[in-house]
Amino acid sequence: MQHIVIIGGGFAGINLAKSLANNKDFSVTLVDRNNYNFFPPLLYQVATSYLETSSICYPFRRFLRGKKNVTFRMGEFKQLKPTENKVVLSNGELSYDHVVFAVGAETNFFGMENVRQNALPMKTVNDALELRNYFLQRMEQATRTTDPVERDKLLTIVIAGGGPTGVEVSGVLAEMKKKVIPKDYPELSGKGFESHIYLVDGGPKLLAPMSEKSQVDTLNALTKMGVEVKLNSQVKDYKDDIVTFANGDTVATKTLVWAAGVTGSVFEGIPQESYGRGRRLIVDEHNLVSGFSNVYAIGDTCLQSTDKAFPNGHPQVAQVAIQQGKLLAKNFAASVTGKPQKAFRYNDKGTMAIIGWNKAVADIPKPKLHFKGFIAWLMWLFIHLISLINYRNKIRTLYNWTSAYFTRDQTLRMIVRPDGEPPVKG
């Protein structure tokens, strides 16, 4: 029986483990720093108090019940020892016949130390909870301050990054500004209370990978909702409550949400020549890492240029990770029986982004179709609902969405911080 160690339990890792479950030819150890799987596309709804954490998270050990050949190890990867076929974790070592890196990507601050220290990223559940607490605490501060300049900073939010995350965060905040804030915070209503939501991007378009129709529809919708969109505006610094752009413009704010880019991780034990653009591991058509015979990478952490339709590598989206995880499991099974392995070819099922209540955009490549508004919004809800890992999460999320749809509100705006946790930045 061959032992496969999977580092990372996101879309790629969990689908690989699930596809190898109950295969008598393999024993599988799934390793993750958290004891739960979570659904990244809905992190922004946790951050903005529209979903509970439990709606998008599920414990690995509960998920793996009954899968006799799959075990879970909570730990953080530290080092690969390829000559010994071992991985070193924060709490011990594991031997392997094959090791698969499926850790996803991490936030890219492009070398800007002040931004790294002071901005708020949104890549993990911890980030989303921190952002939720931060938003709510800033609102409470705004109700107390008598300094109009300080209050404007507290009520101004800058979201950096015009991709799906930035669009979704700015859209839901704009709706909260109109429908929720006046009811929850009557102290902030009336004349003299200015609040701004800026969505900024260094490029000329929002949702750059999507169609031009989606880009235009999104820009128009956000502008009508009151979001101030600043394109061709690259953030260069964030210090002393001032966001500074490359062209010299500035915005005074206490809150910079960073959704402007991701980068791969560097793994000790893997040589520099195995990395490509964006610190992604270079892999062949079977997701084997360059320079190795039993080390693989799937999902956001890999760069695969063998797919003719994507010569510069695949987009770092969930469907790529899911499909690579499932195919690698089939290839492992094929290798045992001597059958030929299949090269990975990405089946692009489309791209979508939600903008707000009854507003979304969706592009379907085959046939080439574009949807917007209510239909695209329903499509987004359906796809994200069925993509959740289990029925419990689906039922919880559907309940919360149904409640939010009819009330245009949610009742999850609680500031919860463990004793001794440091206060928010600033």
Q: Which residues are catalytic?
A: 168
Distance CA 400, CA 52 (A): 9
b/e sequence 375-392, b meaning 16+ C-beta within 10 Å? ebbebbbebbeebbbeee
Residue type, 412: L
DSSP string, 41-52: GGHHHHHTTSS-
Q: Is 377 helix (H, G, I), strand (E, B) or coil?
A: helix
Question: Residue 34 corresponds to which amino acid?
Answer: N
Measured CA to CA, the distance from residue 287 to residue 82 in angstroms comes to 17
Query: How many Å apart are CA 417 and CA 402, to the nearest integer?
Result: 28
Q: How far apart are CA 263 and CA 256, in angstroms?
A: 19
Q: Can you name the residues that pair with 81 across neighbouring β-strands?
A: 86
- Residue 411, SS3? coil
- Rounded to 10 deg, the angle between the 125-144 and 148-155 helix axes is 150
Residues 6+ apart with CB under 8 A from 95: 3, 84, 85, 86
Burial class (CB in 10 A: 0-12, 13-18, 19+), 235: buried
**Which of 202, 179, 326 is closest to 261 using CA atoms?**
202
295-297 vs 98-101, strand pairing mode: parallel
The β-bridge partners of 29 are 5, 71
Token match 């099922």: residue? 349
Q: Which DSSP string do the residues of 294-305 spell out, in sequence order?
A: SEEE-GGGEEE-
